Chain A
């Protein structure tokens, strides 16, 4: 079945460090790809998305490129801030069924220290 694999957390970085969170997926067809972020005590927020191969999604300094050949959608940021501390979820779309329309991994918790 469709699935997504994210790097295990927690990830702890110092402020202004470079961030990469790896994401690979298996999905039927040609999914859209999403990154969501969840701050403590809140719901998920859409961070960025890409809908076709080689598309680059970007928002708030975060970027991710849709790599069809490697079925990956790695999240990067050049200089993290303390306010980026949150849990990040990679989510490919799927065609519904018992998983719903998006497949969520376990998430990667990021802690940024001043």
Chain B
């Protein structure tokens, strides 16, 4: 079965711009979570969506937002990009709590 698909794989943006990342979960998985991974901070939780509703939210500024569509696909948006937003953004889906996540390969965002 198809895994979690993230697009694009790589992205280069300029400070001040905004960016949208996309995630298609495994078919049937209704929970989608997003993480930011950097060498300094490690894995940091951004938010989780379940059936189109944000269920949990990490400690990130309001420039980071997301949404989930009726087909469970999810997008995250970062506005007014800063150099510190350069990171690997990982999306993960799960069937239900306690099952663990299946991760995508990530989107590598570089802000210049």
Q: Are A45 and B58 in contact (CB under 8 A)?
A: no
Q: Are B100 and A46 in contact (CB under 8 A)?
A: yes
Q: How far is the CA of A97 from the CA of B68 in the complex (A)?
A: 18
Interface size on A, residues (CB 8 A): 24
Where chain B touches its partner, the secondary structure class is strand
Known: A98-B58, A98-B59, A100-B45. A43 touches B94 (CB 8 A): no
Q: How far is the CA of A104 from the CA of B46 in the complex (A)?
A: 13
- Complex interface: stretch among B14-22, B70-78, B79-87, B102-110: B102-110
Q: Are B56 and A44 in contact (CB under 8 A)?
A: no
A45 to chain B, nearest CB (A): 7
Q: How far is the CA of A32 from the CA of B99 in the complex (A)?
A: 8
Where chain A touches its partner, the secondary structure class is loop
A66 is an interface residue with CB less than 8 A from chain B = no
Chain B residue numbers with a CB within 8 Å of A89 are 43
Chain A residue numbers with a CB within 8 Å of B106 are 42-43
Known: A100-B58, A101-B48. 15 other contacts (CB 8 A): A42-B105, A42-B106, A43-B103, A93-B97, A93-B98, A96-B48, A96-B56, A99-B56, A99-B58, A101-B31, A101-B56, A101-B97, A104-B43, A107-B42, A107-B43
